[in-house]
Amino acid sequence: MKLDIMTMSLLSKYVSLIFPDYRFEKILLEFERTMSMELDFTQEAKNSERTTSCFRKNDVVKVPHVFWELTTKEVLTMEFCTGHKVDDLDFLRKADISPTKVAKALIELFGEMIFIHGFVHGDPHPGNILVSPRGQGRFSLVLLDHGIYKELDPKFRLDYCKLWKALISLDVQKILELGEQFGVGKYAKYFPLIFTGRTIDSKSALGTQISGEEKTRIKQDLNSLGMDDISSFMESLPPDFLVILRTDGLLRSILGNLGAPRHVRLLAYAKCAIYGHEEQSRLESGAINRITLQIKTSISYLHLRILIELARLLVQFNDYKHKAKDKLSWMLQKISREVLGWYKALM
């Protein structure tokens, strides 16, 4: 591993000499750190037990038990758990398990990791998440491979909660303000595009497809970016953000494979962001203040949920409208063919 890291480091330096705008040494250092962690199996076992503790009240999440008497730095011995890859649609259909329910459970699991616990599984590809049937459409999500975890900085976690609240409500001023705190400056305007698929000045409803005019404007804007912009953006991001981006990218891919509606992710993240933001305040408050905070949190979540649900209904309405239009067009074509057939028969 050390030889591979050294080779990658040398190649990176040579490339940066030829292309000065290429500056990804920071990513290489983070890669080296995470790989070193993954090769220590006692650390993986500790991560596994900490995750078990975080989700002890969640009966959907299953983390294999560690047998410490048979575990060393080089050998990890865990409970054997059965299941199929989380995006195995054929298996889910045969087991009568709803792919949308699996997607919802999955994104809520990782939303809680990111926004509330601040302890994030760094490699959630389909092979590391199994669906284990429990009968009558019920299931467990078995979480494997706890080698790479990222413990988020408490301030970063709270700011990330604030960012998602601002993204859902498209609070432009707050997004730009948080961009300054994250150190990305002018590139903060791309946060809505990266996370929710709409521009910072979008007029489209949350969760809907952006307009053709917006697509054209996005292409023009992105075409104006050079390698120096991309390097500057990546270098400016805190290390915690790089982990979040990778994790969210993998999760979105799985949700896409499961055919989950876009609002499932938005709603789960909105809920976790609100509860994560108020978590510290609840810990520091007295009993009466905790009740007030709980009410405030519930109202904030209800407000964001209404925004997302309205957007979802709008998407469904547009889908029904297009389907009705297609159906009507098909009926008119069929009637036209039949009329033409009768006319030819009469002639």
Q: Is 145 a catalytic residue?
A: no
Tokens 């104006």 identify what position?
224
Phi, psi of 141 (to 5 degrees): -100, 115
Domain ranges, ordered by start, for the chain: 1-39, 44-151, 285-346
CB-CB neighbours of 178 under 10 Å: 21
What value, to the nearest 5°, has the Cα angle with vertex 295 and ends 290 and 298? 120
Distance CA 151, CA 256 (A): 27
Q: What gap in Å lies between CA 132 and CA 83, rounded to an integer?
A: 4
Instruction: Please provide the DSSP assignment of 61-82 as one string.
Output: EE-PPB-GGG--SS---B----
Contacts of the segment 61-66: beta carbons below 8 A, 24+ positions apart: 61/109, 61/140, 61/141, 61/143, 62/132, 62/140, 62/141, 62/142, 62/143, 63/142, 63/143, 63/146, 64/142, 64/144
Q: Please enumerate in sequence order all residues whose Cβ is within 8 A of that of 46, keeping only pairs 6 or more positions apart, or say none.
A: none
Please report, for residues 9, 46, 267, 268, 314, the alpha-carbon distance to residue 317 in angstroms, rounded to integers and kept in the order given: 53, 48, 19, 22, 5
Catalytic residue among 21, 59, 123, 153: 123
Q: Per-block average pLDDT, block size 10, for the chain (347 residues)?
A: 82 78 70 75 95 95 97 95 96 95 97 96 94 95 93 94 89 92 88 85 66 77 75 80 90 95 88 81 55 61 64 59 61 63 60
